[in-house]
A = this chain, B = another copy of it.
Amino acid sequence: MQKVSEIRVRYAETDAMGIVYHANYLVWMEIARTELFRLLGLPYTQFESEGLALAVVDAALRYKAPAKYDDLLELHAEVTEVSSRKVVFSYKVLRGDVLLCEGETVHLFVNQDGRAVSAGGFPIWQNVKRIFDL
């Protein structure tokens, strides 16, 4: 798994317990997969410009330690499975050496109507195949 981004915890992301509200980790995981794809040469906006999107169908998060306001966090991500139908991502959120949260999301390729489709027929699929050696 590689480091793909650093983020600074926003005040808006904290809650009355004084720590980051748990739903924000899903937002950060989305940043992580966006940046991972950008680093791989697959900017998500290119999928969108071809009328393709990656709809989340499954998400799992395991919270290990809380993040606090102004913390500088590392987002790590990797693709653990990819086909013309489905992409699975794995994530870690760290503050230095401390693992705060880890998880996975499963995505299906969908078209502009939100229907699951094969990415096989789309131009960007050639890039995906090359990059993931499919």
Contacts and interface: CB of A to CB of B under 8 A. Distances in A.
A14 interface: yes
Contacts of A59: 22, 59-61, 63
Interface string A9-36: 0111011111101111011001100100
A15 B23 contact: no
A44 interface: yes
A15 B14 contact: yes
**Chain copies in complex:** 4
Contact of A69 (B16, B55, B68): B16
A7 B31 CA distance: 12
Nearest to A104: B60
Contacts of A69: 16, 45, 48
